Amino acid sequence: MRDVLGIARANRHTADRIAAALLAADPRFARTADGRWTAAVLDVESPPLDACRFAVVDVETTGVRASRGDRIIEIAVVRLDGSVAFHSLVNPGIPLPPFVQRLTGIAPSLVSEAPSFDAIADAVLEALTGCIFVAHNARFDWHFVSSEVARTRHLVLQGPRVCTVRLARRLLPDLPRRNLDSVSDHFGIEIEGRHRATGDAVAAAKCLTRLLSLAKENGAVCLADLEQTRKAEVGTRNRTADRSAFRVPRSTLP
């Protein structure tokens, strides 16, 4: 109501009724579980793995809780071939904890002249558009990126995600640990620039390439099959995935 109709002070009940009157009967729109309105997307078949475009993301942050005000201080988006689609240091607008400075080597002087996330948000979204969001511990990176996008663009980031930690748990059952160091070491991958966004994202992209190869050996054919991949050791071939669960990536207005 505020952004589209210019009704700045409509109370929630009135705004909800107006939105429902305008959008509910229109099949081009749908409502999410949290009450937001979004452009409706038709169900499509899960794409073949070989046809997927993957965006491997890594962020360095001021802490671990985006919901508590922690911010991104560096972000990288890397393609499956290891090429960097986007990278930037980010001025978080808040102090950098000493622990973060020691871990990443990112000093306050490095981010003081860096752009804010608001200044790079459009470039980040462009790098992610049409891609499968991938990260090593995807929940963490997704939460931070989606929080920054919501804060700076008032958009809800949506779309399919792949977590290389979860893939490693399924496909490398004998590996004692599945952090990026352990998985990279298992595949003989050297991480150039640990705890920096580009170095970690490039390593994760190389790990994803190897994990996708293992998944295909286990019978994975399409994106949805990655969630169904099972241990090759027990001889279980992945089952047919529910194609209706796949959605095309999109951003939505609140």
Confidence at residue 49, expressed as pLDDT on a 0 to 100 scale: 95
Please classify residue 137 by burial: count the beta carbons closer than 10 Å to its beta carbon, then call 0-12 exposed, 13-18 middle and 19+ buried: middle
Confidence at residue 232, expressed as pLDDT on a 0 to 100 scale: 38
Give the long-range contacts of residues 96-104, CB within 8 A, separation 24 or more: 96/62, 97/62, 97/63, 100/60, 100/61, 100/62, 100/63, 100/73, 103/195, 104/60, 104/73, 104/74, 104/195, 104/196
What mean pLDDT comes out for the span 227-241?
A: 44
Write the pLDDT tens digit of every residue in 113-147. 999 999 999 999 999 999 999 999 999 999 999 99
Alpha-carbon span 250 to 20, nearest angstrom:
21
Alpha-carbon span 104 to 195, nearest angstrom:
5
pLDDT tier, 229 (very low <50, low <70, confident <90, very high otherwise): low
Least confident of 54-68, 190-204, 223-237: 223-237
Q: Note whether 173 and 231 are within 8 A (CB).
A: yes
Q: How many CB atoms lie within 10 A of CB 49?
A: 18
Confidence at residue 10, expressed as pLDDT on a 0 to 100 scale: 80
Which pair of structure tokens corresponds to residue 130?
């049409």
pTM for the full predicted model? 0.77
| Three-state SS at 77 | strand
What mean pLDDT comes out for the span 84-90?
A: 98
Confidence at residue 29, expressed as pLDDT on a 0 to 100 scale: 86
The residue with tokens 């589209």 is 4
What is the percentage of the chain residues whose pLDDT exceeds 70? 88
Half-sphere exposure of 99 (CA within 13 A, CB side): 4
Domain spans, the chain: 1-43, 49-236
Q: Note whether 62 and 100 are within 8 A (CB).
A: yes
For the chain, what is the mean pLDDT? 87
The domain 49-236: what is its CATH number? 3.30.420.10
End-to-end CA distance of the chain: 10
pLDDT of residue 112 exceeding 70:
yes
pLDDT of residue 186 exceeding 90:
yes
| Three-state SS at 129 | coil
What residues pair up with 251 in beta bridges, in sequence order? 157
pLDDT of residue 151 exceeding 90:
yes
pLDDT of residue 225 exceeding 50:
yes
Alpha-carbon span 81 to 162, nearest angstrom:
16
pLDDT of residue 45 exceeding 50:
yes
Q: Note whether 196 and 111 are within 8 A (CB).
A: no
The length of the chain is 254
Confidence at residue 85, expressed as pLDDT on a 0 to 100 scale: 98
